[in-house]
């Protein structure tokens, strides 16, 4: 695999619709692109958790999804395809042998890219938040529209609160978060929450994955789930792995939906190096 060298500052690549996508590279080695989940950007999300250990062996491309951090919001109307194009732009910089890892809704974005035929050497998914059976109530299919209404009304804090309650954060936990410095950062990217709902809501209705949904994805894919995650999450990851022609399911003992580098990086390293 080609070796990629770290950058010393933020760089930008232009997506297909002209949107500037910000990224940086940490470490030297084979290229790995990290795709963040909801409310995260490259300075406060999966990349931050993985970087200290992952960059010891790989050149880690961390980028801000459109509308977040230093990336542009895009001049065209939002569509999942625009985010796939953003990922493609970063992958083109990373090189044809790059691997990719996505967490939560970022994992779903990786799946959508793979379904569209985007080429990567290997992909890893950490807990794509699907609901594919009756072990969890379906999420409201209008969540995206409701959140957009809150954002349009300038109620970013309420949009974040709705998201937090939807993903299971207790009411007292939300109250505590609102007085912490991170709350301001979350509210700053609340306008992107409808983008994440556009990615995930279709597969949060308690129905099995559609027949053939992932049948065209032929690259090796590692599907990771936390050992302490709830049954619906474990069942969804098992369903995704089973639907992938070349999928492997790996459960990490003691882990939850929160990505932790110490538990996750060794598994990623082994998968990508094999």
CATH number at residue 54: 3.40.50.1820
Which domain-ending residue is among 179, 200, 221? 200
The predicted pLDDT at position 8 comes to 61
Claim to verify: residue 110 and residue 242 sit in the same structural domain:
yes
* DSSP character at residue 192: G
Claim to verify: residue 63 and residue 44 sit in the same structural domain:
yes
Please state the domain count of the chain. Answer: 2
Which domain-ending residue is among 200, 215, 233? 200
pLDDT average per 10 residues of sequence, the chain (274 residues): 66 97 96 97 94 96 97 92 98 96 98 97 98 97 97 97 93 89 93 97 97 96 98 98 98 97 98 92
In the block, residue with structure tokens 């999420």: 139
Claim to verify: residue 188 and residue 210 sit in the same structural domain:
no
Q: Are 41 and 73 in contact (CB under 8 A)?
A: no
Does residue 90 form part of some domain? yes
| Separation CA 214–CA 133 (nearest Å) | 18
Q: Which helix (H) or strand (E) holds 126?
A: strand 123-126
Claim to verify: residue 130 and residue 210 sit in the same structural domain:
yes
* Predicted confidence (pLDDT) per residue in 263-273, tens digit: 999 999 999 99
Claim to verify: residue 196 and residue 76 sit in the same structural domain:
no
* Predicted confidence (pLDDT) per residue in 200-251, tens digit: 999 999 999 999 999 999 999 999 999 999 999 999 999 999 999 999 999 9
Claim to verify: residue 20 and residue 100 sit in the same structural domain:
yes
Claim to verify: residue 108 and residue 216 sit in the same structural domain:
yes
Does residue 6 form part of some domain? no
Does residue 5 form part of some domain? no
Claim to verify: residue 102 and residue 22 sit in the same structural domain:
yes
Does residue 71 form part of some domain? yes
Claim to verify: residue 157 and residue 213 sit in the same structural domain:
no
Does residue 2 form part of some domain? no
Domain extent for 229: 11-135+205-273
CA distances from 23 to 71, 98, 135, 154, 165 (A): 8, 15, 38, 28, 31
Claim to verify: residue 256 and residue 183 sit in the same structural domain:
no
Does residue 157 form part of some domain? yes
Helix ranges (H only) for the chain are: 46-54, 80-94, 105-115, 143-152, 156-166, 171-178, 182-188, 193-200, 231-243, 261-273
Claim to verify: residue 227 and residue 126 sit in the same structural domain:
yes
Claim to verify: residue 48 and residue 173 sit in the same structural domain:
no
Which domain-ending residue is among 180, 200, 220? 200
């Amino acid at each position: 695999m080609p070796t990629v060298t770290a950058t010393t500052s933020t760089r930008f690549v232009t997506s297909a619709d002209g949107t500037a996508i910000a990224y940086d590279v940490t470490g030297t080695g084979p290229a790995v692109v990290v795709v963040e989940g909801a409310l995260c950007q490259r300075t406060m999300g999966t990349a931050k958790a993985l970087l200290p250990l992952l960059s010891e062996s790989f050149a880690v491309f961390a980028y801000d999804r459109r509308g977040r951090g230093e990336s542009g919001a895009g001049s065209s109307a939002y569509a999942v395809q625009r985010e796939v194009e953003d990922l493609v732009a970063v992958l083109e910089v990373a090189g044809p042998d790059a691997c990719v890892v996505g967490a939560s809704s970022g994992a779903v974005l990786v799946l959508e890219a793979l379904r569209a035929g985007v080429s990567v050497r290997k992909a890893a998914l950490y807990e794509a938040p699907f609901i594919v059976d009756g072990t969890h109530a379906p999420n409201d299919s209008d969540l995206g529209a409701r959140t957009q209404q809150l954002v349009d009304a300038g109620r970013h804090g309420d949009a974040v609160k709705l998201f937090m309650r939807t993903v299971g954060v207790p009411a007292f936990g939300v109250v505590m978060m609102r007085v912490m410095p991170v709350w301001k950062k979350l509210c700053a990217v609340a306008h992107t929450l409808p983008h994440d709902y556009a990615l995930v809501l279709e597969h949060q209705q308690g129905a099995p994955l559609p027949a053939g949904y992932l049948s065209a994805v032929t690259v090796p894919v590692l599907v990771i789930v936390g050992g302490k995650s709830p049954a619906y999450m474990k069942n969804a990851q098992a369903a995704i792995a089973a639907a992938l022609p070349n999928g492997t399911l790996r459960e990490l003992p003691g882990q939850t939906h929160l990505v932790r580098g110490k538990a996750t990086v060794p598994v990623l390293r082994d998968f990508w190096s094999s």
